Amino acid sequence: MDNVLGKRLRLQREKYQLTQKKAAAIFGLTNFQLSRYESGQSNPDPDIIAKFAEYYDVSTDYLLGRTNIPTNESYDPLEDLKQYMIDNQLEDMDLGFYDIDQMKKLNRDQIQELKDHFDWVVAKAEKLEQKSKK
């Protein structure tokens, strides 16, 4: 039997640059359990598969080998970022210097890091503006 689930779990873990120990902690598993899942010696229950899919921002169908398209169609990182820009009156910010194809590959956590960075930049600019008015 081909171990698609195990291979894809390992691939995603490595893509996120996680050790087995770190990934196991994230998912509330032991190293032994995760190792058995990745090697195909054991199969996770549906709830754990859903946690893997959510964290790695892929579909459960992809993890289970039902499709070879890893992206979770319900999440569009560019739409998420666009909505953030609108919500924060940053629509005029030119993102042309970013590689759009690379941005399309970002997951929710990575987009959140971008949002957090934008928040920091805006807060710093506001602080400098207030300081210059004194």
Instruction: Spell out the per-residue pLDDT of the chain, length 134, in tens.
Output: 468 999 999 999 999 999 999 999 999 999 999 999 999 999 999 999 999 999 998 989 889 988 777 765 566 787 878 788 777 777 776 666 667 777 777 777 788 888 888 889 888 988 988 888 87
Distance from C-alpha of 114 to C-alpha of 61, rounded to nearest angstrom: 28
Under 8 Å between Cβ of 81 and 111: yes
The angle subtended at Cα 48 by Cα 44 and Cα 53, nearest 5°, is: 110
